[in-house]
Amino acid sequence: MSREQASKQAKKSNYRVRFRHGVCPQGRQVTRADIKKYDFFFEPGTTTWVSTMAADPSILSQYDEGVLSHMRARSLGLPYESSLAGPSRLGEAESELEWPLDDPTEAQLFRNWVEYVSHWWDTTSPENIWRDKIPKLALGNPMLLNAIFLHSAQHLRGVDPAWPAEPYHYHERLLNLLIPHIANRGCIDDEATLAAAIILRSFEDFVAGTDGQTHLDTFPLFTTAGGSLLDTRSTVVKSCFLKHVRFEVHAALLGRPSLHVNYQNFVLPDLIEPANEISWNNRIVWITARVLQWCTEDSHASEAWSELNRLVNGWEKSRPSSFAPYFYRDVSTDEGRYYPDLWYSTPCHTEANQYVRIARIALAQRDPDATRPGEEGHRAEYESREQIVERLKEVIAIARCNGHRMPALFLASNAVFAYGSTVEDHFDRVKMIEFLEEVEGVGWPTKSAMRWLASQWGWSVEDST
């Protein structure tokens, strides 16, 4: 069967999956706005998400020539001889493998993932699964391979708008594989497909920007029919789940009802007594999610605030010294330095220091002392506002002055959306808008944040865009 015939056959298949707005455009007709049009969903009761722990992963020491020769076809989603396929559940390979990519552009995308993008994702994984294991899993899973191409193309397009690979091309490929897979099997029951779905969610969040309108909810991927969380002993499942936690925090900063995990009553064992820097980072992300979840509740008892403040203080007091900046330089208006310099050595340290500041901002906004009557309450309210603005500037500074800054820019822009209305100084407000314009320049849509802040500050739309 030719590639064209296979493509036509795939389009004629009648799956129990529906797009809301028709068929995705092809090739260079695709625009960034197109991605916002699509929403795939399933009839209630037809989809069940199950754990990947049902069986131990197979260990594959080498790939036979059939798998290698058909890898290109599989990345395109074309049929291939099933007798040549390896196991569907892949473990660590015992020997070095030759990556079976014959397209130079896709090879560059794969390389960019391994050398750059994976390091941002491995802030969730002490085992570095996104650099070491996920690329190997992608060899046996075309959905994951196209997800890697998708995310890597998105990154390179932000760095170089002339980069030839269009992320929407791989987005369409991925959906054409993932949706029939779920429709036919009714579940995601392997690590590679789970990772592909998480990468897809990340891309949709990127396209939505501060609009926050993503169509893929990844929370059901980690819950059983009864609503309890799945077993996260698998390093891939656990890392994907911790990535989902970050999705929830990002959406919460945009005012979305996204905090579905019970962050107070459930804590991953690795986060109780962290044994490595990645776990320390994941712990402060979890604490921040817990703080934001508490902020959405109707009751804000001072005892709960004090407990959360104690958790944040405890993290800063006990975390490894490597989380401190290796270079700090204060603000200097004489030297034209509006933001401080805060340099960190790894994406893990960068991320953790943004999250701890966001947690402190959220707590300062709910400081019970600021609600007291009289002069004491007014003083506490003023101090809380000052702390919010100072910490918000630091969140932005961390994003701007670190080489591994892409995810940090996006988190900072969401924090500005959430807390920028607190800023009162006109010059500070202008700098916030300039930062959002900077983030818009690398592909993360922030115009909705600019409009929102303008409305809160009493500015006209023209003043902020």
Residue 407: other Cβ atoms inside 10 A: 21
* Spatial separation of the C-alpha atoms in residues 111 and 96, rounded to whole Å: 16
Residues 210 and 101 both lie in one domain? yes
pLDDT at 165: 84
CA end-to-end distance (rounded Å), the chain: 52
Residues 229 and 278 both lie in one domain? no
Please report whether residue 458 resides in a domain: yes
pLDDT at 59: 27
Residues 358 and 249 both lie in one domain? no
Please report whether residue 452 resides in a domain: yes
Please report whether residue 310 resides in a domain: yes
Residues 238 and 293 both lie in one domain? no
* Spatial separation of the C-alpha atoms in residues 411 and 435, rounded to whole Å: 12
Question: Last residue of a domain, which of 261, 281, 307?
Answer: 261
Question: Last residue of a domain, which of 227, 261, 295?
Answer: 261
For each of the chain's 465 residues, which pLDDT tens digit applies?
444 444 444 444 333 333 333 344 444 444 545 444 444 433 334 343 433 333 333 322 333 333 333 333 444 443 333 332 333 333 343 344 455 788 899 999 999 999 999 999 999 999 999 999 999 999 889 999 999 999 999 989 888 878 888 899 999 999 999 999 988 887 788 899 999 999 999 999 888 777 766 667 888 888 865 555 677 789 999 999 999 999 999 999 999 888 999 998 888 888 999 999 999 999 999 999 999 999 998 777 889 999 999 999 999 999 999 999 999 999 998 898 999 999 999 999 999 999 999 999 999 999 888 777 888 778 888 899 999 999 999 999 999 998 777 889 999 999 999 999 999 999 999 999 999 999 998 888 899 899 999 999 999 766 555
pLDDT at 36: 46
Strand partners, 41: 18
Residue 403 carries which DSSP code?
S
**Secondary element (H or E) of residue 240:** helix 235-253
Residues 87 and 216 both lie in one domain? yes
Please report whether residue 300 resides in a domain: yes
Question: Last residue of a domain, which of 204, 238, 261?
Answer: 261
* Spatial separation of the C-alpha atoms in residues 442 and 399, rounded to whole Å: 13
Coil, strand or helix at 401: coil
Please report whether residue 266 resides in a domain: no
Please report whether residue 461 resides in a domain: yes
The CA-CA-CA angle for residues 27, 114, 189, to 5°, reads 75
Q: How many domains does the chain have?
A: 2
Residues 277 and 249 both lie in one domain? no
* Spatial separation of the C-alpha atoms in residues 449 and 418, rounded to whole Å: 9
* Spatial separation of the C-alpha atoms in residues 365 and 359, rounded to whole Å: 10
Residues 243 and 278 both lie in one domain? no
Taking Cα atoms as reference points, which of 367, 423, 427, 425 lies closest to residue 395? Answer: 423
Residue 422: other Cβ atoms inside 10 A: 18
Residues 197 and 318 both lie in one domain? no
Which domain, by its residues, includes 319? 271-465
* Spatial separation of the C-alpha atoms in residues 12 and 28, rounded to whole Å: 23
Residues 303 and 203 both lie in one domain? no
Identity at 276, one-letter amino acid code: N
Residue 227: other Cβ atoms inside 10 A: 8
For the stretch 456-459, contacts whose Cβ atoms lie closer than 8 Å and that sit 24 or more positions apart, written own/partner, are 456/420, 456/421, 457/421, 457/423, 457/429, 459/429
Strand intervals (E) in 254-331: 327-329
Residues 229 and 108 both lie in one domain? yes
Residues 20 and 122 both lie in one domain? yes
pLDDT at 314: 97
Please report whether residue 106 resides in a domain: yes
Whether 223 contacts 49, CB under 8 Å: yes
Please report whether residue 278 resides in a domain: yes
Residues 313 and 170 both lie in one domain? no
| pTM reported for the whole predicted model | 0.78
